Amino acid sequence: MLWLSEVLLQGHQLESFDDLLLELKKRAREGELFFRMDVKPPFPDTPADWEDKLEAAFTSRQE
């Protein structure tokens, strides 16, 4: 199970919401099967529909 808080804590290189989307796609391609959102991303460019966008990025597994 991949938690959003875990991705954010491990992702010191993440500087934007778009970086987070790319990281989630990468993790999904590497074999993660389940993803849970337990915190809101702290980036200034986080959109209102951030949950939908993160879920779509994780399930699409495309770059």
Euclidean distance between CA atoms 43 and 23, whole angstroms: 14
* Domain coordinates in residue numbering, the chain: 2-60
Tell which wins on pLDDT, 62 or 47: 47
* pLDDT one-digit tens code per residue, 6-55: 999 998 899 999 999 999 999 999 999 999 999 999 999 999 999 999 99
State both tokens at 10: 């491990």
Residue 37: φ, ψ to 5°? -105, 110
End-to-end CA distance of the chain: 21
